[in-house]
Each structure stands twice: as structure tokens, then as C-alpha cells.
Amino acid sequence: MAPALARACTRAWSVQVQRRCRHVAGARVPGGVVRLPARVVGGTGQDGRMGDVKLCPCRRGESFDECCGPILAGERAAPTAEMLMRSRYTAYVVGDTEYLSRSWHPDTRPADLALESAQRWLFLEIVATERGGPFDDRGTVEFIAHYKLDGARDAMHEVSTFTRVHGAWVYVDGTFRA
């Protein structure tokens, strides 16, 4: 990887940097994320309806109020690393920066979590999980988050690492997959 690109990869996670870095297998996702997509409302899953019940954007098949809603609201803790991953995806979809910050490890959490750009999240695909269960202290989740930006579809493929802080699952960092 060119030094300049390597620097860019570790500095910010803007859509532009993400676009350049995500093709570099093994590129680290920086903990110090500065910019995040702003217009994340309207993910495909969010639009999905089951009668009058709004399906959760993470597409577990339950309603938002039974799935990620209570976790984002702080009423319920994510029982597994995968569920925390799902809830964070949902937070991107609905633009809940407060929850994104709260569910991020204090050591890697960005100081400023501003949302930007017209990135529109479409759906989440969980590829694999390792540990991260109710009796684990660490876990990884490999996922592909599909989105649309400037009229073009794209996807972010990442292996995320999770751990617990005071018993609650938090996101630590991740590695991009080509």
C-alpha cells in the first residue's frame, strides 16, 4: 500500500477514504473515525413493512420495536456481539450517533461522530460470527453492509472486533476485506 494511502486509511473513515481503502485487503479500520455518512435514513429494510409493523433495518425479521429499537434506546443490552453489530448498523440507518458513540469502545471511539454525505444504507449481510456469545468476552463479526451513493450501489465488507466493557458488548475496531 502506498504510504499516503496507508496514512489516509488510518486517519479517517470518510466515504472517500473508505472507497479507496476497502479494496486493500487487511487495511485496518481506524478507531479514530471522524466522519460518518449523514443521510442514512431510508434503508431498504426500514421501508419494509409487515402490515402496520415496521421491520427492523437489520433484517432479522422482527419489528424495530422488538429488535434493535430497545437496544438503541438503552432499554435492553445486546446479548451477543452479532446483535450489537446489527444494532449499530440500524443506528447508521436511522442516524443515531449517540448510540454509535455509546456502543463504541472508549479507547477507539471517535471524538467527533459527525454524519455526512448522501450514503443510503440498503441492507446488512452477516457473513460469519466467531464467539461473541452470552458467555464470551470477545467476538468477531464479518459482515457486508450494502449501500447506495451518488446513484451507484456499493458495499462495505468488514470483520469487526467486539469486547465487553462493564458487561456490555462494545465495538472495538475492524479490518476491511477485499
CA separation for the pair 113, 32 (Å, rounded): 10
- Pick 68 or 170: Cβ nearer Zn ion: 68
The residue among 8 and 94 lying less far from Zn ion, judged by its C-beta, is 94
Answer whether 12's CB lies under 8 Å from 36's CB. Answer: no
Q: Closest by alpha carbon to 174, among 145, 140, 144?
A: 140
- Cα separation, 90 vs 72, whole angstroms: 9
When asked if residue 67 is in the footprint of Zn ion (CB under 5 A), the reply is yes
Q: DSSP letter string over 105-136?
A: -TTT--S--EEES--EEEEEEEEEEEE-STT-
Instruction: Please name the amino acid found at residue 12.
Output: A
Residue 157: which region, alpha, beta or left (left: phi > 0; alpha: psi -120 to 50)? Answer: beta
Residues 3-62 that bind Zn ion (CB under 5 A): 56, 58, 60
- Nearer CB in complex with Zn ion: 60/177: 60
Among 27, 68, 124, 156, binds Zn ion (CB under 5 A): 68
Q: With residue 99 as reference, give the H or E element that holds it.
A: helix 97-102
- The 69-108 site mask, x for binding Zn ion (CB under 5 A), equals -----------------x----------------------
Q: How far is the CB of 111 from Zn ion (least distance, A)?
A: 27
User: Nearest approach, Cβ of 67 to Zn ion (angstroms)?
Assistant: 3
Residue 46 is placed in which grid cell? Answer: 426500514
Closest to Zn ion by CB, 92 vs 176, is 92
What are the cell numbers at 118? 448522501
Binding residues for Zn ion, rule CB under 5 A, total 6
**Mask for 136-165, x = binds Zn ion (CB under 5 A):** ------------------------------
CB of 141 to Zn ion, least distance (A): 14
Residues of the shown chain interacting with Zn ion in the complex, contacts defined by CB under 5 A: 56, 58, 60, 67-68, 86
